[in-house]
A and B are shown apart, each in its own frame.
Chain A
Amino acid sequence: METTTINKEEENLLPEESLLIINKMINSAKNKLADDGFHLIFWGWLVMLCALTQYITLKLNYDWGALVWMLLPLGGIFSAVYGYKQAKTQKVKTHIDTYLGYLWGGFLIAMFITLAFGYAHGIKSTYFFLMLLYGMATFISGGILNFKPLIFGSLFSFVFAILSVFLGDIDQFLCISAALLCSYIIPGHLLKSKFKSQQYA
């Protein structure tokens, strides 16, 4: 490879200037928060709404409560369209985007399997495992994004998963709502406000 000494360089860059450029560019590329919290907020509210509706209808002896879960496939379409549009406007793809993509992709597969086959072990074990999955996915996301409220919030899902073992079938819906509020909704809104504040910084 052809090399030259620093003094003969076409642009006469000093070593200190080179280090400054490297430092400036690396910092400008890494200091952006990679997530706007949309999916956490959207899924947190949607699933909590479904769980609370089912809880209330079961308590009041109405039998239509389970129908509310039909909203989830519609939510899936909306979420996918949002994600697709977001990806189209993105000018840069970071390694964090890739890690988060694999994490939530794996979470979705595990969640579908739990929902489809978990009933073989009863409703309680299904919701127990769902809350563990919520906790694990948000815990790892919080770590990847270096966002402490998400890490802290994720711990509540683990706590509510343990608590659910000691509660009845109907109360599982209350438990899952509380887990979503602490692990998704509150950290999601905090993430959104941090994302917005850096946009205007």
Chain B
Amino acid sequence: MLKDLDPILHSQLRLAVVSLLVSVKEAEFTYLKEKSNSTAGNLSVQIQKLKEAGYIEVEKKFKDNYPQTICKITPKGLAAFEEYVKNLKQYITKK
């Protein structure tokens, strides 16, 4: 039987953010915005959802008097991503 896909990850922008964070150690908000080609407002909302799910850690600090948001994937987020990819492959092979 096919497993349901995780709704937190099954969203274009949230999936893009998690995929980027899987590949790096940590990334600034501006980097994620640039790579995912999203708007700041939408990205903020999706980052908050990922944070609430415990998939990413968000650290806010100041750099040269400007606020800086740094995101990092958590072990829970990494496990969810791996499970999502596994289930996705099942969907594709069963088609």
**A and B are interacting partners:** yes
CA distance A193 to B46 in the complex (A): 38
- The answer to the question of B42 belonging to the interface, with a C-beta cut-off of 8 Å to chain A, is no
- The answer to the question of A198 belonging to the interface, with a C-beta cut-off of 8 Å to chain B, is no
CA distance A6 to B4 in the complex (A): 7
CA distance A52 to B11 in the complex (A): 61
- The answer to the question of A10 belonging to the interface, with a C-beta cut-off of 8 Å to chain B, is yes
CA distance A7 to B88 in the complex (A): 13
Counting chain B residues whose Cβ lies within 8 A of the other chain, the interface size class is: 20 to 34
Residues from chain A with a CB closer than 8 A to the CB of B19 are 21-22, 24-26, 29
What 1/0 mask marks residues of chain B from 55 to 69 whose CB sits below 8 Å from any chain A CB? 000000001100000
On whether the beta carbons of A22 and B85 are closer than 8 Å, the reply is yes
On whether the beta carbons of A15 and B92 are closer than 8 Å, the reply is yes
For window 1-21 of chain A, which residues contact chain B by CB distance below 8 Å? Answer: 1-6, 9-11, 13, 15-19, 21
A22-B85, A25-B16, A28-B35 as given contacts; A94 in contact with B10, CB under 8 Å: no
- The answer to the question of B78 belonging to the interface, with a C-beta cut-off of 8 Å to chain A, is no
